[in-house]
Amino acid sequence: MGLFNKMKEPIFLKESSNAQDQLERLRALEPQLNEEGQEIIRQDIKCLEYGIAGEKNIAFELKNSHMPMYILHDIYLEDGDLSAQIDYLVFTKKMCFVIECKNLCGNVEITNTGDFIRTTNFGGRKKKEGIYSPITQNQRHLELMKKIKVDIKSNIITKLMIGKYFEDFNKSVVVLANPKTVINAKYAKKEVKSQVIRADQLVRYIKDFYEKSKDTASSDEKMLAWAKSYLDLHKEVDKDYTEKYEQYKVDNNKSERKARVKSDTEEKSPINVTISIEKTEIFKELKAYRLAKSREENIKPYFIYNDNQLKDLIFKMPRSEEELIKVDGFGKVKADKYGDDIFKIVNKY
């Protein structure tokens, strides 16, 4: 046991993350998408880059903490239909810190009801928006951790003890990793305010909790066993992060198909004139309608239908709700909302 008690510095038992692999997949996919898809994926890439940068900031702080602790990065736990992707688990001799990393642009206000409001400034214009509470998100992580630990025990007394004292030894903390982010928690409740810190406050936060704890410090050996018990529960999951972009992939075969249109020349000649579908009048009119409706509803045009769905409209030329629902991207809600307008355009051709 003496060997373990010589531990002086933090040790990462798991430092890798699948975020970098996900980023490379998205970058490789970007050129295969249409203009709308590229706009979406670029935004996702930017958010992912922010997340990776934020987690690196936290890793830097932990590595330079000069504290004996074991660290797990990017842990995926699963129990039945429940799952949790945990950014960091930090095990000390007295407690485990469950860290949710947020690398947010703008400033964050926490209201007296626990709501998180983010304010961003673009081109001199301020925009306020509510964001999902990272405290609630992290609390669900803890609940799953507790459930797993309780379920694997067979002794009823042990189950009850784990359930009762779990929160005493596992602390939730949300770390805002963007150094430019300003936190306004003036009206936040104390129990909420105490769970949200900046990255440069993390080490001090851990040390303060550790020093204030009246629990007996465990040995380095037990601390390692505790950390390994969660590392053993971690599941490597190869998620398909590209599925959401399938509808925006450029279909070379379809895009090369031609749409036949009638013209004055065609009426006078038996020869059919073919042009690319993007140059047809019906394509232009359906695209103009999409733009007008998007401005009217203050939404992105592709929320109504994207270019591939627009082409599918032209190929299928629906003239009833039943036919419109068969068009890619259309369900009953969209058919009810836009169907009459679309039929008027289609019936002209």
Residue ranges of domains in the chain: 4-231, 252-346
> CA 309, CA 156: separation in Å to the nearest integer?
57
257-266 long-range contacts, CB within 8 A, separation 24+: 257/315, 259/283, 259/314, 261/349
DSSP H or E run through 22: helix 19-29
Measured in degrees and rounded to the nearest 5, phi and psi for residue 251 equal -95, 95
> CA 318, CA 346: separation in Å to the nearest integer?
7
* pLDDT tens digits, 193-252: 899 999 999 999 999 999 999 999 999 999 999 999 999 999 887 666 788 898 898 864
> CA 176, CA 118: separation in Å to the nearest integer?
12
> CA 135, CA 133: separation in Å to the nearest integer?
5
| DSSP, res 194 | T
- The first and second tokens of residue 312, run together, are 């599918």
CA distances from 164 to 9, 139, 144, 150, 195 (A): 31, 16, 15, 10, 21
pTM surpassing 0.75?
no
| pLDDT < 70: residue spans in the chain | 1-5, 122-123, 238-240, 251-276
> CA 91, CA 10: separation in Å to the nearest integer?
10
Q: Which homologous superfamily does the CATH classification assign to the domain defined by 252-346?
A: HRDC domain (1.10.150.80)
Dihedral sign of CA atoms 135, 70, 162, 232 in order: positive
Beta bridge partners of 21: none
What DSSP assignment string belongs to 139-180?
HHHHHHHHHHHHHT---HHHHHHHHHHHHHHEEEEEEE--TT
Q: Radius of gyration of the chain from Cα atoms?
A: 28
